[in-house]
């Protein structure tokens, strides 16, 4: 009988460890993502995981679809989960160097 109680305790501890290492982080990430999508507005410039940069024209959160204008009169539909973050052009500017024409040391 004590073996059965020990086995039950080990099973409960195992399930608790699984929940804390797998389920809980996924729930937390899902909540963060939902909060991020709720803050998106029409007119925001975003970048997708595929590297597409564009301006949001229409947001259909109930369907999980965003209409993104990538050029004048060119609008594509995206799954909202493919949005990586807001686009900041200063992130992609090359850093200025002092010696433009000289080789590296």
Q: Is 53 helix (H, G, I), strand (E, B) or coil?
A: strand
Element containing residue 79 per DSSP (H, E): strand 74-79
Q: What is the pLDDT of residue 26?
A: 87
Domain boundaries, the chain: 1-39, 42-94
* Per-residue pLDDT of the chain in tens (105 residues, 90 and over written 9): 788 888 889 999 999 888 888 888 888 888 888 888 778 889 999 999 999 999 999 998 888 899 999 999 999 999 988 888 888 888 777 776 665 555 656
Element containing residue 9 per DSSP (H, E): helix 2-18
The CATH T-level fold of domain 42-94 is: SH3 type barrels. (2.30.30)
Q: What is the pLDDT of residue 70?
A: 93
pTM of the predicted model as reported, rounded to 2 decimal places: 0.60
> From CA 87, how far away is CA 99, in angstroms rounded?
30
Element containing residue 24 per DSSP (H, E): helix 24-39
Q: What is the pLDDT of residue 97?
A: 64
């Amino acid at each position: 009988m004590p073996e059965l109680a020990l086995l039950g305790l080990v099973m409960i501890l195992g399930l608790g460890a699984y929940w804390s290492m797998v389920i809980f982080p996924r729930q937390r990430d899902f909540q963060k993502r939902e909060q991020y999508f709720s803050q998106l507005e029409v007119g925001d410039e975003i970048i997708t995981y595929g590297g597409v940069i564009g301006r949001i024209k229409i947001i259909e959160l109930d369907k999980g679809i965003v209409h993104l204008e990538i050029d004048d009169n060119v609008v594509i539909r995206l799954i909202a989960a493919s949005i990586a973050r807001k686009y900041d052009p200063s992130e992609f500017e090359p850093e200025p160097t002092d010696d433009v024409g000289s080789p590296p040391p």
